[in-house]
Amino acid sequence: MIEDRPARALAELREFEKRRDGMIHAMDGGLWLHRHVWKGRRMAHLVSTNKALLLQYGESVGIGAERLQYKPLKDPRTGIRRDAWHWDLSGPYLPPRA
């Protein structure tokens, strides 16, 4: 639940106005929070090439490791696909806007 999240876990994720900037942050191993709406429901992807950091975040907020999704993404700087993972966040797991 969002009320139980350690402040450190929230501090590690970043949002960006430009998708490209967020993607670069994720490609460099950071946690990129990408908000979107799916079927009228507010959601976000928390994306990174750093699987260990994503798993650490998930554990800190109570998301089971089996929910982590693998999806290779294209690095916007090189055009090369790289291993990447993401969490689908919604409901109590959706961080408030900064």
Summarised one tens digit per residue, pLDDT across range 47-85 is 999 999 999 999 988 999 999 999 999 999 999 999 999
pLDDT of residue 97: 84
Dist. CA 55–CA 87, nearest whole Å:
9
* Higher-scoring residue by pLDDT: 84, 5: 84
Q: Please state the pTM of the whole predicted model.
A: 0.86
Q: What is the mean pLDDT of residues 10-24?
A: 90
91 versus 2: the higher-pLDDT residue is 91
Contacts of 54 (CB under 8 A, 6+ apart): 31, 46, 48, 68, 85, 86, 87
Rounded Cα gap, residues 86 and 32, in angstroms = 9
| pLDDT value at residue 9 | 59
Predicted pLDDT at 6? 52
pLDDT of residue 51: 95
DSSP class of 21? H
The answer, yes or no, to whether residue 33 has pLDDT greater than 50, is yes
